[in-house]
Every structure is written in C-alpha cells, then in structure tokens.
Amino acid sequence: MEQEQILILDFGGQYKQLIARRIRECSVYCEILPHTTPIEALIERHPKGIVLTGGPDSVNEPDSPTYTANLFRLGVPILGICYGAQWMAKTLGGAVEKADVSEYGHANLWIDAADSALLRGVPAQTSCWMSHTDRITEIPDGFCITAHTEHCPVAAMEDAKRRLYGVQFHPEVVHTPDGATMLHHFVREICGCEGSWRMSAFAQTQIDALRNQIGGSRVLLGLSGGVDSAVAAALLSKAIGKQLVCVFVDHGLLRKDEGDEVEAVFGQGGGFELRFVRVQAQERFYQALRGVTDPERKRKIIGEQFVRVFEEEARKLGAIDYLAQGTIYPDVIESGVGGAVIKSHHNVGGLPKNVSFRGIIEPLRPLFKDEVRAVGLELGLPASMVYRQPFPGPGIGVRIVGEITPEKVRIVQEADAIFREELTRASIDVSKGQFFAALTNLQSVGVMGDARTYASAVVLRAVMTDDFMTARAARLPYELLDTTMNRIINEVRGVNRVFYDLTSKPPATIELE
C-alpha cells in the first residue's frame, strides 16, 4: 500500500522544518521539496495535500520564487502559509501589496467564518504569530475571507469548493496556540489522511526495502555510540544480519564506560546479528594529540586520525559494496533540501577517501530525531542508548582546554559520570539541553586533609537550548551542584576546584575547548 503523504513546497521559509514536524505529529508522513521540483515529480508521488511555505521574498518582485499555476488544477487540497498564501492569491487573480505597517510577532486573530473546515472549533478571538510586510489586499474569485487581524484584513482565506486555503500567519509555531489544530484539520479532514504514519510500520517497511536494495552485498557502518548510528545499525542488522560490518573506533575520547556499553549492545551476545569490530585506537589518538593546544588543530587531528583508522579497518575487511550513514532528516534539511549530506558526527573527518564503494545507504534519512528514537526502542535498543544526550564527534577532545592527555581524559570522564549520576538522581530532565563536565587548564592551590594541593579545576556545564545555536545556563538546584562538587572533589584524583559555568551562548559556546 502506498504511504499517504503531504508534500511541502519550500519557498525559502525559515519554519519549514516546523511545518513538517507538526504534520508528522498528526501521524501523517510529509516531505519538504524545493519549489524548483517539476510538477510531474509532485504528481508521481500522489500527495494527499500540498503545503506552500513562507519565504523572505515579495511576490511582486520579478525574481521571487514561483511555481506553475497548474498546481491549482491538480484537484489536491493546498494550504499556503504567509508567502505561500500571497503567491496563491496573486497567481489566482487576487492582489498583494506592501502593507503600511509590517506585522511581526503576536497579533490578535478574529475568525470570520466559524464553519471553515480549517478553522472549525477555534475560538472566535484567538492569537497568531505574524511575520510579514506584504499582505493580500484582494482575494481571488471564488475565495472568501475567513479571519483577520488589526493590520491584516485577509489573515485567512479559502475557496472551500476547490479546497484551497491560505493563512497569512504561521500556524506551525507554538505562538499560534490554535495552529496545530488548524494543521490537523487540513491534513486529516480536508486532505482526508487517515494518519497511518507509525514507527513500527516504518521500521518493517524500511527493513524490507533495505533487504531488496542490498541483496547479498556487504555494508560498512561507522558506529559512534550516538543514537543515529546505533539505530541505523539496528535497522541494518535486522535487514541483512552478518552482511553488516560495524566499525566502532574507540578514540579514547568517549564518555566513561561508553565503549563497553556500545560493545555490550552490538558485540557478541548483544542480541543483534552483525559483524562488530571495535578498534582500540586510544594510544594512537593520544600520541597524535601530544603537545597540541590549539582547539582547531586538535579537532583536525582527531578528524584525520578517525578517517585513517576507519580506512585501515575497511581495507582489512576486503571489498565493501555500500557505506551506511546515520543521516537524519534535519541534516538533510540543513544542508539544503535534496542535497548530499556528509554527517560529520559519524564521519568526524569527512567521508573516507581511500575506500571504494558502490553507494551510500542512509536508512534514517526521512526521520526526525524523536522518530529515530522511537524506531530504536521498537528495534530493542536500550533506553539508555536511545535517550542519550548529544555528544560531539570529537568527544571529550572538545571538553579539555589545552593539551589532551590520558590523565585529563580520565578526570573529565570521572567527573562527568558523577555529574550525570547526580542529574539522574535529582530527576533533572536533560532532554532540552546539554549537561556535562569539562576541564580547564587552570592549576591552583587548595588544601585537602591538612596538605597543600596544586591541582585541576573542573567545570560543570549545563545549558538549556532548543536548537544548539543559542543556549542559557540551566538553573540547577543548589543542592545538586553542592553534592556534585563534593563528590568530584572526593572521588576524582587530581581535582581541587569545581566551577559552574553560568555563561550563555553567545558569547560562549556550549562546549569548552
């Protein structure tokens, strides 16, 4: 049976990823396509509905993004958002003009048509999130106005007969409190989607598809210990068993016991059929990093060594047909829809150059992070692995200021393990941020057991963030910080001070290197 789907045509909108999220939350599969996608390609996919995104341009500019008007002859329900709505209005014979007042942010929204299939059940007065300069001044024939704001006479319009809808505001953002309801109405009622998108079904379909695609070939996957490569490994293992070779490079910069945890899941007796190779490359990395203090140089060395070790292992394995990667949908969107992706997290130094293979396999490419997690649980991965915090590719290497030594790695690993234990004990939700210990290059005087010490200072870093682009220090309970500090001082040799980093990003970064 064909997967029912909604297609999102991208006119350059900054919230396109959110639109896709909201639609998937209605249990409906959707994908974002660039507005340069030929209409034939759209038709081939038999979408149940189409959403036109917003965008930064003005439809009245000559070079602004556009699409063939034949789109409206497909008979498929269409929802235009912001620029998408303006383009719909203009293309169908209405008018769009520059408004006297730009509307940004919160606006009161009055519903003018309570019987609208899109707006049904929404309070007569609600609010919405606006971000526009142009506005629709004339609606096309067959349309009616279904909502307005103070500065925007056409905040929503529709031609129910042709199932064409336009909204000037952004229903996909949380600041439009009834936005999710409107999107639900659009995909489930107007487009008639049943809501059949389930992770269990995805896993089974994907396993069958992988089996067909790969046949008797061999696949190589680099395991990082992170969620994405682990779920990719689990899926491939179910599909092709021992034809899958997973190489796990232990670069000596992992969190405490992480290498063993990965081996427990994917190694002998772990319940997944595959060939697991753990490369103990710690010494080699430490050697290459000796005496290096510059953060960028350290990253470069870690990346280069990683690729070299990976290539050496690949060569030992003989002919490999496919290289698998744990690319997920946000990676695809961030690198430009439809473009090639090299996931740095899994290929710390880029793709291996000296391994030849026929193609790349990316079994998680259509999924968002929480969907990847759901698939992981579905396939029997332990929750501790599925819900683990994000961890940078270069690992603890970016959590040590100055030269990296095995001794410093030990300090960070132990302090970090204590911090994570205490966070768990205090039931702190770590899912919306990053929480870890790092090591400064400060050595200072202390006193322990009546003796003078000259030892290191550990930093506890705990930030809350939505997108990892900006972040704020978490307001952790003082008791938790106090207990963590005490335990680190008492249990981790070589530490006599513990700081809590209050700095936000910007001006700091999340990591400390």
Binding site for ligand XMP (CB under 6 A): 344-345, 390, 392-394, 398, 434, 468, 505, 509-511
List of residues 6+ apart from 206 with CB closer than 8 A: 235, 239, 363
- Count of residues making up the chain: 513
Q: Is 144 marked active-site? A: no
Question: For tokens 């290497």, what's the residue?
Answer: 397
CB atoms within 10 A of CB 280: 11
Identify the DSSP state of 3: P
- Report the DSSP beta bridge partners of residue 447: 452
CB of 502 to ligand XMP, least distance (A): 15
Cα–Cα distance, 419 to 306 (Å, whole number): 28
Task: Single out the residue of 190, 166, 492, 230 nearest to residue 364, CA to CA.
Answer: 230
Annotated catalytic residue, options 82, 128, 152, 246: 82
Residue 130 sits at φ, ψ, to 5 deg, of: -110, 150
Question: Which position has the token pair 């981790």?
Answer: 492
Residue whose CB is less far from ligand XMP, 213 or 387: 387
Residue placing its CB nearer to ligand XMP in the complex, 72 or 391: 391
34: left (phi > 0), else alpha (psi -120 to 50), else beta? Answer: beta
Q: What is the DSSP letter of 223?
A: E
Kindly state the smallest distance separating residue 390's Cβ from ligand XMP, in Å. Answer: 5
**Residue 358 tokens, joined:** 């026929």
Beta bridge partners of 219: 244, 322
Report the residue number, 378 or 513, with the smaller CB distance to ligand XMP: 513
For residue 203, is it left (φ>0), alpha (ψ between -120 and 50) or beta?
alpha
In angstroms, rounded to a whole number, what is the distance separating the alpha carbons of residues 207 and 200? 11
Instruction: Say whether 175 is catalytic.
Output: no
Is 42 or 460 the residue whose CB approaches ligand XMP more closely?
A: 460
Q: Count the Cβ atoms, other than its own, within 10 Å of residue 38.
A: 9
* Spatial CB neighbours of 307, under 8 Å, sequence gap ≥ 6: 347, 348, 349, 350, 352, 353
Q: How far is the CB of 434 from ligand XMP (least distance, A)?
A: 5
Residue 26 is encoded by which pair of tokens? 């209605």
User: Which residue in the list 170, 184, 185, 345 is annotated as catalytic?
Assistant: 170
**35 carries an active-site annotation:** no
User: What are the structure tokens assigned to 380, written together?
Assistant: 């029997």
Residues 19 and 51: their CA atoms lie apart, in Å, by: 9
- What 3-state DSSP class applies to 15? coil
Q: Pick the closer one to ligand XMP by CB: 239 or 333.
A: 333
To ligand XMP, the closest distance from the beta carbon of 157 in angstroms equals: 41
Looking at the Cβ atoms of 303 and 376, the one nearer to ligand XMP is 303
User: How far is Cα 92 from Cα 86, in angstroms, rounded to an integer?
Assistant: 10
Query: Is the CB of 318 or the CB of 507 nearer to ligand XMP?
Result: 507
User: From the CB of 394, what's the least distance to ligand XMP, in Å?
Assistant: 5
**Cα gap 465→173, rounded to integer Å:** 17
Q: Dmax of the chain from CA atoms? A: 88
By C-beta, is 182 or 367 nearer to ligand XMP? 367
Cross-strand pairs, 135: 97
Min CB(328)–ligand XMP separation in Å: 12
- Cross-strand pairs, 250: 280
- Closer to ligand XMP at the Cβ: 222 or 394? 394
Number of C-beta neighbours around residue 268 at 10 A: 7
CB of residue 143 to ligand XMP, shortest distance in Å: 45
User: What are the residue numbers of the active site?
Assistant: 82, 170, 172
